[in-house]
Structure 1
Amino acid sequence: MTDPTLLDAYRYRRVGPVELYLGDARQVLAAMPQASVDSIVTSPPFWGLRDYGTGAWHGGDPACPHPPGADRRTVGAPCPRCGATWVDPQYGLEPTVEEYVERLAAVFDGARRVLDPAGTLWLNIGDSYTGGTRRAYHSGETNSPGRAPLPPKNLIGVPWRVAFALQARGWWLRNAIIWSKPNPMPESVRDRLSTSYELLFLLTRSHSYYFDLDPIRIPLARPQAADGTRIIGGARKGRTGGIGATARRRGSSAYGAGKYGAEDIGVEPRAGAGNLAPLGHAHTAAHPKGRNPGDVWRIATRPYRGSHMAPFPVDLPMRAIAAGCPPGGRVLDPFSGAGTTGLAALRLGRRYMGIDISYAFHDEALTRLAPHLPDKTSRQDGR
C-alpha cells in the first residue's frame, strides 16, 4: 500500500481538477497509488535533441569556475579541477541510446503500475540521426560494452527501440500512429528526404481496455440519401469517370479493367452471385457517425511562445484522450512540460495529473490551464 504522505512530498500545486508534482517521473510514480489513473498521454524529451538547463555541479569547490570543456552533458562527469560531479535529472541527454531506452522503460514500468488495468498509454516520441553528440550503438549484436557505434548519418530508430522495450516488459503494443505534419520544421538536408512526421504509440496494460472510437470518427463527406444509404465510392460512372469502391476492390480503375485478377487481390466470388466480395466478409455500409480515422493523423503543429521548446499541438492529446479515457476520468502526463496534455484533458472534462522536474514549466502550465478551470474559486487550494 502506497503511503499518501510520500506523494504529498512531491506535490507542487493542486488547483481544482489539476494536480502537479515536482520531481523525477520515476520517483513520483513510485509514490502514486496503484491503478489510480485512467489514461497516460505523454511526450518525453527526445534523445540528444535539447538541453532544458536542469543540470548543476554538486560537491567540490563552490568557487571553482569549472572549465567550459568539462562534459556537462553526461550525468556523473567530474570537474577536472575540483572534483565536483555533474548531476542532471532530465531525460534525453544519456550518452547512448540504449541508456536512454532503459531509463525511459523504467519510467513506464512505474506508469504501468499506476495505470488502471483497462487504461491506455499514448506515447509520442521522435527519431534522430547519429552524429555530433548522438552516439548510438548497435543493439542486440553483442553484450560487449566496447561495441562499435553506428556511423554518422544513421537514422537510429529511437521510437521503435522504446516501443519494443516496453512490449518486452509486458505492454500490449496496439497501434503505431503516424502524426503527419503538413507544416514540418524545415531541414537543410540535400542527401535525404526531410522529416515530416512523428510516431504516437498506443499501448495498453492488457488485451481488454477502454477505447471509444465514436468521439474521434471522421464525419462522412457524402450526404445521406433518402433511403438511408450513403455514397461512399467515386462519382457516378459516365459523369467524371470515377468508379465505386466495389469496382476498385475488384481491381478496376477509371481507365478500365484491373491489372490483377480476383485471386491476386484477395477477393472471391460471393455465394449465389457473379460479383466479388473481400475474403472472409461482405462489404458493409459506412458507419453513420463517420469513419475510423486510421493510423495516419494529419495534424499541423501550432506556434507556442512559452519557454518550453517543444510542446505538441493540443489536437494530438485531445484525440487520444477522447478515445482512450472514460468521461470524468483521470489523465496523467509524467513529462508534463507546458501542460498541453492537461489543457486537452480539461477541455474534455477529465482530471489531470502532471509530473515535471521544472517548477518553471509547472508555473507556465498553470497559466495556460487557468482559463479552463471549471471553478475559479478553487484555483488557490493546494500549495
Structure 2
Amino acid sequence: MEAQIGRETTPKEYISRLTEVFTEVRRVLRPDGTLWLNISDTYAGKGNQGDFIDPKNPNGRNGQAVALNNKVEGCKPKDMIGIPWMLAFALRDTGWYLRNDIIWMKENPMPESVKDRLSRCYEHIFLFSKSKKYFFDYKAISEPIAPATAERLKRGMKGGNKYGKPVPGQPQPQSINRPREHGEIKDADINPLRNKRDVWKINTVPFKGGHYAAYPPKLVETCLLAGCPEGGIVLDPFMGSGTTGMVASQMGRHFIGIELNPAYTELAYKRIGGEI
C-alpha cells in the first residue's frame, strides 16, 4: 500500500520514518504519559523467496518477491539486524526516556524451519516516558510472590550470613536476608504481591479476522493497567485490527486509533464495537 511504513529500502530509512511518527506522538502526549512500543527483529540477507507462496499471505506480507533486507549496510548475510534497539536508541536521542525493555515471551510462537540457530519465541516491548516523572500504576499489575519466598521469610536467619550485611550498591540488606528468629515473621506480615517482572509470558490467541499479527488482548490489558488511568486516552498510531481500541473500551479508557489500510479500519470498527 502506498505510503505504508515497512517497505523502506534500508533499516535506517525505516527507523527514520518510525522516529518521525513517535516524535509526533511525544508532542501530543500529556507530560505524565507513557509509550509502550512493540517491535520485532529480522535478519539480513533473506533474499529471493523464489516460487514459495505463504498460504496465509499469498500476495506477500509487503508485496515484494525479493526481500528488502537482501542487502543491509553494516550487516553480513544472516546477521540479526538489531531493529528494536536501533529504534529504541533513536527515540531516546529525540527526548524519550527509555525506561524498560520488556520481553514478551510466547510459549506458542510461530515455528521456524531453521537448523543453525535457536527458534525465536519473544519480542521486545519498550516502555518510554515523556518526562522523568510519569503515571505508572505498579500496583495494578503486581504479581503473586513465589510460595518459596513466603516460606523463606518465615524461617530463621542467622546474623552471620553473607547476605545479611550491606554490600556495595545496596546499603540495606534485603528483608529476606536480615537476621531474625524462626517464626518471627508471620503470614500476616508478608506482602503476597511483588513488583511485576520484565519477562511476560503471554501466548498469542486465535483471531478469525483478516489480520495475521493481532495482539493478544492480555498484552494490551497489562500495558493499559500500568500506563493509563481509567478515563484516560489511549492513542495507537498503528491501529491494525483494533485490539488496543477494543481492550481500551472494555477497560473504561477512551481511544484514538490511526490506520492507513481501509480494510483494517473496517475490521477495527467491528472489533471495537463488539461485532467480532
- Relative to structure 1, the CA distance from residue 169 to residue 287 in structure 2 (aligned partners, 3 Å threshold; closer, same or farther) is farther
| C-alpha contact 1:217 1:289 (8 A) present in aligned 2 | no
Structure 2 contact 217–243 (Cα < 8 Å) conserved: yes
Distance change in 2, residues 1:280/1:336 (3 Å): same
CA separation of 1:116 and 1:246: change in aligned 2, threshold 3 A: farther
Higher relative contact order (CA 8 A, sep 6+): 1
Q: CA 1:246–1:122 in structure 2 vs 1: closer, same or farther (change >3 Å)? A: farther
Q: Which amino acid aligns with 1:332?
A: L
Gaps of 5+ in 2: 48-66, 177-188
> What is the match of residue 224 of structure 2?
321
The structure 2 residue matched to 1:124, chosen from 38, 47, 66, is: 38
* Structure 1: runs of 5 or more not aligned: 1-53, 55-87, 139-149, 224-229, 237-243, 251-261, 271-275, 373-383
Q: 1:201-249 deviations in whole A, cap 9, x for unaligned?
A: 00011111000011111134549xxxxxx82539x9xxxxxxx7979xx
SS in 1 for 2:3: coil
Q: Partner of 2:136: helix, strand, or coil? A: coil
Q: Which TM-score applies when normalising by structure 2?
A: 0.80
Write the deviation string for residues 29-49 of structure 1: whole angstroms up to 9, x where unpaired: xxxxxxxxxxxxxxxxxxxxx
Alignment pair present for 1:197 and 2:122:
yes
Greater Cα radius of gyration, structure 1 or 2: 1
- Percent identity among equivalent residues? 44
In structure 1, the residue matched to 2:73 is 137
Instruction: Name the CA distance, whole Å, in 2 between partners of 1:351 and 1:155.
Output: 38
TM-score with structure 1 length normalisation? 0.58
RMSD: 2.6
1:130 and 1:369, CA in 2 relative to 1: closer, same or farther beyond 3 A?
A: same
Counterpart Cα distance in 1 of 2:146 and 2:252 = 28
- 1:250-307 CA distance string (max 9 Å, x none): 5xxxxxxxxxxx4xxxx4636xxxxx99931232378736111211001101111211
Q: More strand by proportion, 1 or 2?
A: 1
Structure 1 position 311 matched with structure 2 position 230? no
After superposition, residues 178-193 of structure 1 pair within 5 angstroms as: 178-193=103-118
Find the residue that maps to 1:199 and give its secondary structure. strand
- C-alpha distance in structure 2 between counterparts of 1:297 and 1:245, whole Å: 33
| Change beyond 3 A, Cα 1:220–1:106 | same
Secondary structure, aligned partner of 1:153: coil
Equivalenced residues, count:
239
Q: Shift of the alpha carbon at 1:112?
A: 0.4
Partner of residue 214, structure 1: 139
| TM-superposition CA deviations, 1:141-198 (whole Å, max 9, x none) | xxxxxxxxx2211100000000000001110000000001111110000000010100
Q: Is the 8 A contact 1:101 1:162 kept in 2?
A: yes
Matches within 5 A, 1:100-249: 100-131=14-45, 132=47, 133=67, 134=69, 135-138=71-74, 150-220=75-145, 222=147, 231-233=150-152
Native 8 Å contact 2:165 2:172 kept in 1: no
Corresponding position: 1:358 with 2:249: no
**How far is 1:106 from its partner?**
0.6
Q: Aligned letter for 1:89?
A: A
Whole-angstrom distance in 1 between the partners of 2:253 and 2:26: 20
Higher helix share: 2
Which contiguous aligned blocks of 4+ residues in structure 1 show a shift greater than 4 angstroms?
Answer: 244-247
CA 287–216 in structure 1, closer or farther in 2 if over 3 Å, else same:
farther
